[in-house]
Amino acid sequence: MYFDLPEAELAGYRSAQTEPDDFRRFWDETMVQSRSHDLDIHLDRLESAITELDLFDVTFYGFGGQKVRAWLRSPRGALAGLPVVVEFVGYGGGRGRAEDSLFWAACGYAHLVMDTRGQGSSWRVGDTADDAWTGPQVPGMMTKGISHRDTYYYRRLFVDAARAIDAAQAIVKPAHVISYGISQGGGVAVAAATLAGHASAVVANVPFLCDIPRAITVTDSDPYAEIRRYLSIHRDSEDQVHDTLRYFDVVNFARHCTVPALFSTALMDKVCPPSTVYAAFNAYAGEKEIVLHRFNGHDHETDDDVRVARRLREMGLGPKP
């Protein structure tokens, strides 16, 4: 069922979300602080029943010098210099098992999947804590630390993601880095590419965290509904909450991201409404393309990745034949 703006209006939709005056300064200072910690990368090869790919258990230091886990997969005997897909995971999920998600390595890419701090307990397992005392948990994360931009959960996650791109660059010394994600991962992919500064392209499939003020009023689906429920109790916090979220809305990152980007959305998506995705797409500063699915909700199918892999090759960002 269609519930959002008509298709004809989406191409012209512009978000009313505004960027804080110190948006770039806040994030520049955050990244300088985070990069003062060495990445301290550890790379351990795994023994596996998978014989045609190399699998590695990776740790690196993300926000605040805190340890973040990842998997790295690559074609057997080939790693250095490959293009690398750095993947960020959807809401509630973690990096999963080493043998999960073999598509990109099978296509000839190195594929680094970053664990999502504090999540990894809803639909795919994770191993990274959000601090030194607690492990992965069932969400929600949408209101964790939301009283101030410095303490908001997504500050830590966005920095982890930028550092994951740094780590992939350091390990693989790749020809190209693709910042990739679905849903939460799609929104994180845009933010990470903006903050890292050396991605080659962004793939943001049905991205989350876009045009948040609109999202929390047009859909009652989680995760956005976590904010709505919070504000229904903390009635005097609306202005402060929206001020915090301005620093994390992907629309504001999109205005500063200039590498080529591939977006997707769906007209029946009640988790990441299509108008919110178009808000980020229309604000995006670089070359961009979007695929619109008329009869899908918050879905992702194998043919979505096949389409993206073919398009990346056409753009000169794929593995060498």
Evaluate whether residue 248 is within a structural domain.
yes
Evaluate whether residue 102 is within a structural domain.
yes
Evaluate whether residue 16 is within a structural domain.
yes
Q: Residue 217 maps to which CATH number?
A: 3.40.50.1820
pTM over 0.85: yes
Q: What is residue 90's DSSP assignment?
A: P
Cβ contact 86:114 at 8 Å: yes
pLDDT at 242: 98
Q: Which domain holds residue 233?
A: 7-314
Q: Which residues are catalytic?
A: 183, 269, 298
What beta strand segments (E) does 38-88 contain? 42-45, 53-61, 67-75, 84-88
pLDDT at 11: 95
pLDDT at 296: 96
Residue of 23, 7, 12 whose CA lies nearest to 257: 23
pLDDT at 321: 77
Alpha carbon of residue 2 to chain centroid = 26
Evaluate whether residue 176 is within a structural domain.
yes
> Helix 153-172 crosses helix 184-196 at what angle (to 10 degrees)?
60
Q: Tell me which residue has tokens 């930028």.
A: 162
Tokens of 155: 């500050």
Q: How many domains does the chain have?
A: 1
Evaluate whether residue 1 is within a structural domain.
no
pLDDT at 135: 66
Evaluate whether residue 2 is within a structural domain.
no
Q: Which of the residues in the chain have pLDDT under 70?
A: 132-135
